[in-house]
Structure 1
Amino acid sequence: MTRQPISFFIHHQGRGHANRAMAIIRELPAERPVTVLCARPELFDGFDRPIDLVALPNMIGAPVPAPGLFAQPTPEVMHCVPLGVEKTRSTMRAIIDHLDDVDPALFVVDVSAEIAMLARIASVPAISLRMHGDRTDPGHLGAYQASVGLLAPFDRTLEQDDTPDWVQAATCYTGGLCTTLDAIPTREAARAKLGLDPTQEIIVVLTGGGGAGTPYAPLTMAARAVPDALWLVLGPTHREGHETDFGNLRELGWVSGVTDYIAAADVVIASAGDNTVHEIARVGRPYVCAPEWRYFSEQTRKAERLDALGAAVMLREWPGALAPWRSILDAAKALDPAALAALYDADAARNAAAYLEAMAVDLWAGSTRPAATSPASDAPPLMAVVS
């Protein structure tokens, strides 16, 4: 008997959700068909595992057509449900049509409280991905209740104290999931490869693509405060227009081989994005966590947990003076590296896939419904975009 598909809804903000999905999907059994629904299907270009790819309309930020509709309050059990938006209606229709067409064994939602609830209304078992943050509101709790299970791509010790017991009991904690697979060099080998001084103090500032970028002005203060160190900034920064550049502060933009730069660093300063945290933990470098603004205080709450575990020094605000920087770096170097390293699990993607596969089998045990046909195991990868 062929297996029913597992479908994934993947949020298109940044690359993290898509990269995580690909890491998990790669570990699913080859005979398990997979479909992915996403508003940016190009995020999956070149993916080396056969999938069907469904392109969704991009409804985020679509305009509301009338002031009277815009004035309607949002129900507290939902988060973002503007009225009269055609793209929202088209998105919901595309999802329902897909679920009806393929009759999936499981619908994995990463992330949307509304779509998890939509799946339950459509009589489809959903797994919701969990993220940190203030998520005890009716919308999140309703989505968790509507799901048949919850998946947390982080270690159990990173769980927040205010998470309800029933949410924790329903959660599969995969261990820290890092989507980067590059080999980890020694500090000396990394510096030699990158052409960096083997003895100079090097601070790597790692920014991401999910927000507006790290503010550049505080980094100029850091470069002045610790002038003997080389400050390397990877990724986008946000400038206000009054900054002065310094010779020991270099903006490298997007680079390949981020692992090499982390390995070369004496201290890494980075946000609290899921993959970022586990990328640093995987390499094992002193970590200053500078949370970026996110909905529901996601990164702030995660940074608080990292700080409480002694896995990172939380930067509650970017210093506006020179004096704090040296003590911040020294505090990070004084941390026990084992606390951060313990948060990474090389088997996290495999653990997630095993959980999803088991749920897809167990939920339907004894079912008499006809099975859908799956593509032949030797078929070429399917990247058919359905609009």
Structure 2
Amino acid sequence: MKKPIAFFVHHQGRGHANRTMAVAAEFARDRPVSVLTAGPHLFDGFSRDIEIVTLPNMIGALVPTPRLFAEPTPPVMHCVPLGLAEMRRTMRQILDHLDERAVGLFVVDVSAEIAMLARIASVPAVQIRMHGDRNDIAHIGAYEACVGMLAPFDERLEQDDYPAHLREKTFYSGGLCTSVDRVPDRAEARARLGLDPHREIVVAVTGGGGSGTPYAPLTVAARAAPDALWLTLGPTHREGHETDFANLRELGWVPSVTDYLAAADIVVASAGDNTVHEVARVAGRLIVMPEWRYFGEQTRKAEALVRLGAAVQAPYWPGDFHGWCDLLDRARSLDGTILRSLYAPDAATRAAGWLEGLTDALWQGGSAVKEPDATPLRVVAG
């Protein structure tokens, strides 16, 4: 029987879960797969047979005493409050599952502490790589504790400051997009959506992991480019003083984001992994406006996109006509094929193949392994 592969899946937004489903769907059908997450609803409707383990939701859990709350966090960790029953139950459930299922590989998407926990528990782990300023001791320790890292993006997007010895342990799947619907050409997409076939269209899109696209700057954009039609997809963030304009429409969640991206001349989007690759899949011209994330994740990804000439960026959301006109002019001059090249249609298949191959290689010949002639390795305390 093949060794099981288990995933720890963070439940913030939908990106981690969608990525896990895309990869797990490509595993061999006789590979046992399980998912440990505090967001089991994110996997509703997933067709592949997997085991779902519901973890406690530790976000917002209250530390029971002021004294415990005052204890400093050691630099080798990021989020380890003391006294939380929810945290103890989470770690216990993870360890029990890894032990009871004899998990061969634990894929962590994402948590430095959970990756370290796997190593302490003697379970091989792979950490999903994300951009950001992650050269702190906690991240480096977690990476070094893993048997490898999976980067769901093109190697050209790698950061210059990512250590060489860790790059050697990283598998780059190419740009992984979890959308699988067919990409229409621009004329077909506009006809399907009832949009003017000749008007310039700018689509601002955001996912569910943040507070939404700031709406106020888009009202300035609509006035700066009155001949363009501006459409927003997903949530928007209003401050309460905005004035609406006829060429700016809020559409919210739509059935097919792909159709709108294909219909657009320019896309304004955050630098989330799946969002970027959704735009890349339709070869759009991208204005990337990173949202705040821990460790500057989206900021560093946006920098990499701009460096490659795959996107343009402003240092902040323009608040004036000139700023928007300049940004739009730079976007119009982009070569959309550069962004398109960052999307890999077979990324999920390649990622799944690497994870399965790594699992099998790690456990190959286990029953035939003998102690070396030299002094046997012993586990000692300390």
TM-score by length of 2: 0.95
Q: Answer whether contact 2:9 2:16 (CA < 8 A) is retained.
A: yes
Partner of 1:310: 309
The one-letter amino acid of 1:199's match is H
Q: Answer whether contact 2:3 2:360 (CA < 8 A) is retained.
A: no
Q: Secondary structure at the match of 1:83?
A: coil
Q: Secondary structure at the match of 1:363?
A: helix
Rounded to whole Å, the distance in 2 between the matches of 1:309 and 1:68 is: 49
Greater CA drift, 49-58 or 315-324: 315-324
Partner of 1:379: none
RMSD over aligned CA atoms reads 0.8
The one-letter amino acid of 1:204's match is V
Q: Answer whether contact 1:64 1:83 (CA < 8 A) is retained.
A: yes
1:244 and 2:243 aligned: yes
Shift of 1:339: 1.2
Q: How many residue pairs were aligned?
A: 368
Q: Answer whether contact 1:155 1:176 (CA < 8 A) is retained.
A: yes
Rounded to whole Å, the distance in 1 between the matches of 2:298 and 2:332 is: 22
Rounded to whole Å, the distance in 2 between the matches of 1:114 and 1:347 is: 30
Rounded to whole Å, the distance in 2 between the matches of 1:227 and 1:20 is: 38
Q: Which has the higher contact order (CA 8 A, sep 6+)?
A: 1
Q: Answer whether contact 2:313 2:327 (CA < 8 A) is retained.
A: no
Q: Give 1:78-227 correspondences, 5 Å limit.
A: 78-227=77-226
1:31 and 2:30 aligned: yes
The one-letter amino acid of 1:265's match is A
Q: Answer whether contact 2:283 2:340 (CA < 8 A) is retained.
A: yes
Shift of 1:214: 1.3
Partner of 1:48: 47
The one-letter amino acid of 1:123's match is S
Q: Secondary structure at the match of 1:27?
A: coil
Partner of 2:265: 266
The one-letter amino acid of 1:7's match is A
Partner of 1:380: none
Partner of 2:366: 367
Deviations 1:93-141 (A, max 9, x none): 1101111110111000000000000000001000000000000000100
Shift of 1:86: 1.1
Rounded to whole Å, the distance in 1 between the matches of 2:183 and 2:6 is: 33
Shift of 1:268: 0.3
Q: Structure 1: which 5+ residue stretches go unaligned? A: 370-387
Partner of 1:329: 328
Rounded to whole Å, the distance in 1 between the matches of 2:315 and 2:171 is: 30
Q: Secondary structure at the match of 2:303?
A: helix
The one-letter amino acid of 1:146's match is A
The one-letter amino acid of 2:170's match is T
Q: Answer whether contact 1:127 1:147 (CA < 8 A) is retained.
A: yes
The one-letter amino acid of 1:196's match is L
Q: Structure 2: which 5+ residue stretches go unaligned? A: 369-382
Rounded to whole Å, the distance in 2 between the matches of 1:305 and 1:210 is: 21
Shift of 1:315: 2.5
Q: Give 1:222-301 correspondences, 5 Å limit.
A: 222-301=221-300
